[in-house]
Structure formats: structure tokens, C-alpha cells
Amino acid sequence: MRRFWLIFSQAVTVGLALLFVVATLKPQWLPRERPSRTTPPTLSLLAPPLAASGVRPALLEAEPSSPTHNGGYRLAARRAAPAVVSITASKAPPRSAARGGDDPWLRFHRGLRQRELERGDEGEGSQFGLGSGVIVSPEGYLLTNSHVVAGAAEIEVQLADGRQAKAELVGSDPETDVAVLKIALDKLPVIALGDERALQVGDAVLAIGNPFNVGQTVTSGIVSALGRTQLGINTFENFIQTDAAINPGNSGGALVDEQGRLVGINTAIFSRSGGSLGIGFAIPVGTARQVMQALVSEGQVARGWIGVQTRELTPEFVEAFKLTVHEGVLISGVVVNAPAAKAGIKPGDVVTRVAGTLVHSPTQLLAAVSALKPQSQAAIAVQRGDQAMEFQLKVGQRPLQPARE
């Protein structure tokens, strides 16, 4: 037995020695092991021959799209982007020099980029306003900002698919900064309208437009705040604030939710440099839709008006005049022969209700009165000293305000 084990050991040693010599000097003599089907080939080996043959490797195929795949919003962008257009509005030369850079209005960028074109030696030229718009109906109606097309002699729209068309200005409402255009093209991509009332602070949103005229661009952010007012941008303000990057040329473009539905029209940013600082504002889609319906059906937005000037009701005023109310809006002035003056409302009165709606600030009073139908009758409740009074008046129509370019 001992002798047999010795022979076996020597044979194994000699065999291993021969295998080592063959593997070192003649490796091709040895049989190759086939790769296991459960072991995926590496990209470094597959990429060169597949690239040369024009075939994409299976490992590089994209996974099914979803709104939040890998933290992205490709599906939302794919749904909304085709309906966002670039707008070029040619304008007449300005009659006066441009306003200085210290104008507070310029702190709120409104997306209007102008470029003067020289004409010979006369030094005169036309201007071009660059902005964005959103197709909202198969009939060719577009939403954009009033300031993008204000004073335009000609408006041209370019779609994301490369088509171009002259646009007709259906109407404009400078007090909300909403304008409606119409183009005559078939098979138009139409964006789905969302509901801004469902938005909450922290919701993801995308801003789509044509910043700096570089081409359609999508940026992402969140809803930073809702119901922003008293910014001095428009007469009627109820902005969605977002930190999605909005830059010159984005005005009139789309603010969409993570499903690609339109929730706002981008209109302004707060900026000290002209670029995005992460404070952008959009007009809620509900407001834009109401304005569009009025402009399409009537050519203008008819709002109620009673002809008063207002101020905040302060505790000092309440104490000085010994009022029995602490909430309301102080009337500081009344327009001669306006509905309020004809009804008997006087400076010093405190308005507490408009047609049954409580008002606590000048902004609320303006919104409540504007919602009244012109030529209708409305009840205005006021506090005059220690007396509660109610006046019936015939609502007038708010005078049209000039467009602010």
C-alpha cells in the first residue's frame, strides 16, 4: 500500500509539472471553457464590435420612461415640450431713450430682449421682442405674456418641430399680463391643462421656454410659494413662485407639473443681474384660462369698478375714529361721479363686505370688485364711525389699462 501511494504521488507531481509547462509555453493546446449564460459579458468587450456594426448593445437600452425615473422628469418634458413655442415680435422703434438700469421695474425681469437693427445712416431701426408661448387648443390658440407682444407690428411663432407661422393677436390683458395669439396650422400639439389649486409648496415643476434665444430648454425646480401678491408686477397678482431657472426669453412659456400638465405661465423673475436667482413667478393657469375665454369671446376682459382709492386699516385709525370694527379697507378717496360717489360712499368709510364677500385688505377689495359684472347691482357694506351702513350701487366697468412694454 505504501509503495502504491508513493507511485501515485510521483505520477501526480509529474502530471502537474507537464501541465505547467504546456500552459506556459503552449496555452493554445489547452481546451477553452465556454462562458456561463448567467454571466453577462462586460461592456468593454462588447462595445467596440457592436459600435462598429451599428448595433446598440442591449445593456445600453433605455428603461421604460416614467415621471420620476432616476430622479428625472423625461415623461413630463416629452408631453409638454412640443406645445411650447418660441415667439418673435417685431416692434416699432422707441420714441424715447430706454429707461435707465436703476428703474425698479427692471428688477423684475419680464423676458423681453430687444435688439435694434440699424438702417443705413439714419440710425433708426425696428426691435424684436423674444419670448415663449404655449399652444392650448387644437384651433391654434396660444397663451403668452402681454408684455412679450405689446406694441408688436408683426408676430412670428416657431414650433418645437421646426414649423413657423405668422400669429394673430386675439387680445391682450396688461393687468394680468396675459395675451392670446392664434396661428393657422394643422395637427398642432396641445398641452394638457392642470389645476393650480392642487399645487402645494414643495411640488416638483418644470419651466419650458426659449431662454436667451438658444432654443427650447427645460429646467426643473419646486413650488417655492403660492399666492404671491404685492410684488408690483401686475395689477392683479396671485403668482406661483418657483426656483426653476427662468431667464430672458422664458416669458410666456410653460410651468408644468410632474405629469406634464400646464399649471402656470412664466412671467417674471426677481434679479439683480438679469439672470435667474431662483425666484421666478408664474401666472396660475386658472387665471390665464379665464382671461383667454374672455378675450376670445368678447375681445376684452370686462371687470367691475366702483371708483375708490383705498388704504390698509391700521389700529391707529381704528382708535382715533373709535370704530367698532377692526378689519376692513379704509376708503381714502372717491372718484367724482363714480358708482361709489353716486351711492353715497365717502372718504373715511371702512368697507367690510362687497356683495357679501368679506374684505380685509385693498388687494381683496380690488379682487372682489373686479369680479363683479359691469352694470350689475351690488351691495357694499361700510362702517362709518360707530354706524354700520350698506349702500346699493350700479357697478361700472373698469377702465382699460395701457399695456406696459
The Cα–Cα gap between 305 and 339 comes to: 8
Report residue 55's pLDDT band, with 50, 70 and 90 as the boundaries. very low
Lowest mean pLDDT of 58-67, 187-196, 275-284, name the range: 58-67
What's the pLDDT tens digit per position in 32-54?
Answer: 544 333 333 332 222 233 333 33
Could you confirm whether 177 is annotated as catalytic? yes
**CA-only gyration radius of the chain, Å:** 34
Per residue in 207-262, pLDDT (tens digit) is 999 988 888 999 999 999 998 877 778 788 889 999 998 888 899 999 999 999 99
Quick check: is 370 catalytic? no
Range of lowest pLDDT (22-31, 65-74, 103-112, 186-195): 103-112
Q: Does residue 57 have a pLDDT over 60? A: no
Q: In this predicted structure, what is the pLDDT of residue 395?
A: 93
Instruction: Examine the pLDDT at 3 and tell me if it is beyond 80.
Output: no
In whole numbers, what is the pLDDT of the chain averaged over residues? 79
Please give the DSSP secondary-structure letter assigned to residue 69: G
pLDDT of 102 above 60: no
Instruction: Grade residue 31 by pLDDT with cuts at 50, 70 and 90.
Output: low
Cα–Cα distance for residue pair 307/315, rounded to 1 Å: 25
Of the chain, the percentage scoring pLDDT greater than 70 comes to: 75
Is the distance from CB of 93 to CB of 125 less than 8 angstroms? yes
Whether 59 has a pLDDT exceeding 60, the answer reads: no
Higher pLDDT, 70 or 389: 389
pTM (2 d.p.): 0.69
pLDDT average, residue stretch 354-360: 90
Mean predicted confidence (pLDDT) in 299-309: 90
Fold of 304-397: Pdz3 Domain (2.30.42)
**Topology of the domain comprising 78-94+104-298:** Thrombin, subunit H (2.40.10)
- Mean pLDDT to the nearest integer, 6-19: 74
Catalytic entry in 132, 146, 224, 251: 251
- Alpha-carbon span 393 to 402, nearest angstrom: 27
- What pLDDT score was predicted for residue 44? 27
Q: What is the pLDDT of residues 126-164, one digit of tens each?
A: 567 789 999 999 999 999 999 999 888 899 999 999 999
Average pLDDT over residues 71-90: 90
- Asked if 371 and 304 touch (Cβ cutoff 8 Å), the reply is yes
- Domain locations in the chain as residue ranges: 78-94+104-298, 304-397
For 235, counting Cβ atoms within 10 Å of its Cβ (0-12 exposed, 13-18 middle, 19+ buried), the class is middle
Q: Is the pLDDT of residue 168 over 60?
A: yes
273 flagged as catalytic: no
> Which is higher by pLDDT, 94 or 316?
316
What is the pLDDT at residue 6?
73
CA distances in angstroms from 308 to 303, 350, 366, 370, 391, listed in the order given: 15, 11, 10, 12, 14
Catalytic position from the list 109, 147, 220, 257: 147
Query: Whole-angstrom Cα distance, residue 295 to residue 149?
Result: 15
Which is catalytic among the residues 177, 243, 257, 349? 177
Looking at residue 385, its pLDDT comes to: 83
CB-based burial of residue 58 (10 Å sphere; 0-12 exposed, 13-18 middle, 19+ buried)? exposed
Sorting pLDDT into bands at 50, 70 and 90, what band is 315? Answer: confident
- The whole-number pLDDT of residue 124 equals 42
- Return the pLDDT at 43: 29
pLDDT at 361 over 80: yes
Mean pLDDT of the 169-197 span = 93
